[in-house]
Amino acid sequence: MKAGVYLRVEPRASAGVRGLVNRGALIMGLESVEGGDRSCKEGWLRLEGDGFVCKRWVEPAPDGGVPQPQPALVAFDHPSPDEYFDYVKTGRYDRAEINEDEALVPFVYGKAWRRWTAPTWPSQRAYERGEAPEGELESNRKFAFDQTVQTRRGEVFRRSDGAVVPVDKVFLYPITRFHGRELDESPPAPGHVAGWVIAYDGLTLRAQPADDAAPVGTLDYHSQLEVEAMPATEGGAWLRVRGDVGTGQPRYVKADEVGIFQPAPRPADLAPDALWVDIDLNEQVLALMQGDRPLFATLVSTGREDKHKGTPIGLYQSYDKAAWGDMTNRDGDEDEYHVEKVPWIVHFWPRYALHGAFWHWGMGHTASHGCVNLAPRDAAYIFARIGPTLPDGWHSVYQTDTHPGTVIRIRKGAALDVPDRRDAKVQR
C-alpha cells in the first residue's frame, strides 16, 4: 500500500472519506464490489468497517496475518513521574525490561533538553561507522521514536526516516501510570462520590474540618478515595473521607485538594441506554456514562483559563478518531509548540480533541491549549469505547450516519445549559 490511502464511504474516488490506512498496515477485506467509477480500473474492495479502497493500493498479505487494533504499543520503559527529579539530576533512571502487555504508549517520546543534546545521524550505518553527526534535534519540539536498536556503538532510537539518536542523549518524558476508576464494577458507597488527590505534594488528613486540626494521615498525589460533602465553614469547603482511622476518628480533606466526580443528568434527548461522555471543567473530571449510569471516571487536564486556550463548554459529538497525529500551534500564536504523534485522538470540534498526553502528568489541573488531555491508560480506554469505532488496522476513521460518533458534554459544575454544537458542519 502507498503511504497513506484514504478509504471511501462508497466505491467512488469522489465519495466522502471513511478513514485512512497507513502503508504496510494489515486490513480486512470482505468482498470485491461490482461497479464503482472509472477512477479505479482494477475494481474496488469493501473492507470490514464499511470502507472502500481501490485494489490498486492493496495486495494480499503474504503470511495471512490478522489486522491488529491501532495504535500498536511499544514495549519501552519510560521514567515514571516520581523518578523525575533524580533523572534530571543524574541523567539516569531505573529502566526495566517490560513485556508488551505492560506497554503504555505507541512510541518512545523524548526531546533535546539540558544535558540531553540529542545529536542525530542520517542512518544506523553512519552512526556505526563513526561518522560525525549531521546535527541535533530541535529543542522546541517533542519527538516520537519508532523503535530502539542495539548497535556496535550502543543503543539508539530510530526515527521513521531512518535517522538515529543515541538513547542516552535524549531526555525521555516521564509518563504517568495513572488510571481512572471503573464505577460500574466498583461504585462508591451510598452518599459518597469518587475522587482523587490533586495536590501535587499530597495532602494531610485532618481529624476535624479545619487547617489547625490534628493530622491523622496522608495521601499521595492521585490517590483514589471516596468522600462526602460537608457544610461550608469559615475555613472553606471540606470533604469527609470514607473510612476511619485508629479508634473510629473521622478524616477530612480540603475540597480544593481533591477532584471529584459529581454526577449530573444526561442531556434530555439521549436515550436511557445511550453511551456518552461527560466532562466537568470545574473538577477536571471525565466520566463515561450509559444513560444516567456512570461506567468509568477519571481526572483530565483541560484548557487553561484563558479565552484563547480554554476548553469551550457545549454539547458535541465526536466526529473522527486517529491512532496518533502531530499537533502544532496556529500560525502567529505566541505559544509555539510541535508535538509528534500524539496518541488516541478523538476530535469533537475543529482543533479540539480528547487525546493522550505523554508530556505531563498534571491530570486534575488545567494545562492544555484547549484539548482534553488524558493519562495514556485512560486515553486508550476511552478511545476503544466511544464512536466512531476504529476498525483493526486502520489509522483513522470518520463518523457516518451508520457509524456515528459519541455525544460529549463539556460543562462547568452543575450548569447544564450548554450550547448544542452537534450539528456543526465539519470539513474534511
Report the chain's mean pLDDT, rounded to a whole number.
Answer: 93
Note the pLDDT of residue 1. Answer: 38
Q: Are 397 and 388 in contact (CB under 8 A)?
A: yes
Q: What whole-number distance in Å separates Cα of residue 205 and Cα of residue 16?
A: 56
pLDDT (tens digit per residue) in 353-405: 999 999 999 999 999 999 999 999 999 999 999 999 999 999 999 999 999 99
Share of the chain above pLDDT 90, in %: 86
pLDDT (tens digit per residue) in 215-266: 999 999 999 999 998 887 767 899 999 987 666 788 999 999 999 999 999 9
Hey, how many other C-beta atoms are within 10 angstroms of the C-beta on 421?
16
Note the pLDDT of residue 422. Answer: 94
Instruction: Classify residue 111 as exposed, middle or buried by CB count within 10 Å of its CB (0-12, 13-18, 19+).
Output: buried
Note the pLDDT of residue 34. Answer: 82
In terms of Cα–Cα distance, which of 75, 2, 64, 4 is closest to 394?
4
- Is the pLDDT at 339 greater than 80, yes or no? yes
pLDDT (tens digit per residue) in 12-63: 999 999 999 999 999 999 999 987 777 898 999 999 999 999 999 999 888 7
CB within 8 Å of 360: residues ≥ 6 apart: 301, 367, 373
Q: How many CA atoms lie within 13 A of 14 on its CB side?
A: 4
Note the pLDDT of residue 424. Answer: 67
pLDDT (tens digit per residue) in 169-210: 999 999 999 999 999 999 999 999 999 999 999 999 999 999
- Strand 372-374, strand 352-356: pairing: parallel
Note the pLDDT of residue 250. Answer: 85
Q: Which residue has the higher pLDDT, 132 or 3?
A: 132
Note the pLDDT of residue 326. Answer: 97
Note the pLDDT of residue 322. Answer: 98
C-alpha dist (Å) from residue 338 to 327, 335, 370: 6, 10, 15
Strand partners, 218: 204
- Choice among 6-10, 228-232, 321-325 with the minimum mean pLDDT: 228-232
